[in-house]
């Protein structure tokens, strides 16, 4: 019914791009942030931030890890700065805070829409008695879940705030997903991970979870399989058809 092995008792969902369409909003905010930074640094001939940059260096990672990873790919190193750095400051935290400022403004302007197929899947998983957790690198997990009216399905949330507080390694390390299974009193082998990001799929495989579902929202089905997904779908509703 749910398209999962019989031994699975727990579902761990990434949020942006798996349950809600907010991944596209994050990508837009990252592009504006990095393009502004690079234009100011390199002038009119700067090399823009691309979809490939997003997939390779940012998608699925905690915000400040994404800043470090992308800038390193361009041979740029910034001082770390402090968590409270203003968005205009040229530090890792300043650039990351600029991105967060932008994405919150975009979310407030456009609202949050869950994928209908994901809502159907959450309803089915809940009705079947499976435990449900959300594991997201975003510090805005609570806001997005409430705005999309999905919090009612979720028994545990591990988000960017928790990751920082507990000093967990970000995806592709499995730490945040392992924290999700611990919060739900489940062994990793009994949990399924649902991810649209390459880094997230790698985290699911690295943590020896029982099943890893790749959600292909960005035309990267082969990359998701190569990263370790057991199955790849375009929409979670496809799993309900099995």
pLDDT tens for each residue of 64-88: 999 999 999 999 999 999 999 999 9
214 pLDDT more than 80: yes
Residue 14 bears catalytic tag: yes
Q: Which one, of 189, 186, 198, 185, lies nearest residue 226 by Cα?
A: 198
Every domain of the chain and the residues it spans: 10-21+113-241, 24-110
Pick the CATH number of 10-21+113-241 from 3.40.50.300, 3.40.50.1000, 3.40.190.150, 3.40.50.920: 3.40.50.1000
Encoding tokens for residue 125?
Answer: 């998983």
Return the pLDDT at 241.
72
Q: What is the pLDDT of residues 94-153, one digit of tens each?
A: 999 999 999 999 989 988 999 999 999 999 999 999 999 999 999 999 999 999 999 999
Please name the CATH architecture into which domain 24-110 falls. Answer: Orthogonal Bundle (1.10)
- Alpha carbon of 126 to those of 151, 211, 241: distances in Å? 12, 18, 17
Catalytic: which of 16, 53, 175, 230? Answer: 16
- What band does 242 get if pLDDT is binned at 50, 70 and 90? low
State pTM to two decimals. 0.85
For residue 16, indicate whether it is catalytic.
yes
Q: What per-residue confidence (pLDDT) applies to 201?
A: 97
Quote the CA–CA distance of 122 and 164 in Å, as a whole number.
27
Average pLDDT over residues 181-205: 97
Mean pLDDT, the chain, integer: 95
Phi/psi of residue 118, nearest 5 degrees: -70, -35
pLDDT in tens, 109-118: 988 999 999 9
């Amino acid at each position: 019914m749910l398209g999962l092995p019989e031994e699975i008792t727990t579902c761990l969902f990434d949020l942006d791009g798996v349950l809600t369409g907010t991944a596209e909003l994050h990508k837009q905010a990252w592009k504006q942030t990095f393009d502004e930074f690079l234009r100011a640094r390199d002038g009119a001939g700067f090399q823009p931030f691309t979809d490939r940059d997003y997939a390779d260096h940012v998608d699925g990672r905690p915000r400040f890890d994404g800043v470090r990873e992308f800038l390193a790919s361009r041979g740029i190193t910034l001082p770390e700065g402090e968590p409270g750095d203003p968005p205009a400051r040229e530090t890792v935290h300043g650039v990351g805070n600029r991105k967060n400022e932008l994405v919150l403004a975009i979310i407030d302007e456009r609202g949050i829409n869950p994928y209908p197929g994901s809502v159907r899947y959450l309803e089915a998983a809940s009705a079947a008695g499976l435990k449900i957790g959300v594991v997201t690198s975003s510090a805005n997990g609570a806001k997005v879940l409430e705005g999309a009216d999905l919090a009612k399905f979720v028994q545990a949330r591990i988000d960017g705030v928790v990751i920082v507080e507990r000093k967990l390694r970000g995806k592709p390390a499995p730490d945040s997903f392992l924290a999700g299974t611990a919060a739900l009193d489940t062994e990793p082998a009994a949990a399924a991970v649902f991810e649209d990001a390459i880094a997230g799929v790698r985290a699911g495989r690295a943590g020896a979870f029982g099943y890893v579902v790749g959600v292909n929202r960005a035309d990267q089905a082969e990359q998701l399989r190569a990263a370790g997904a057991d199955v790849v779908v375009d929409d979670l509703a496809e799993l309900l058809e099995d």
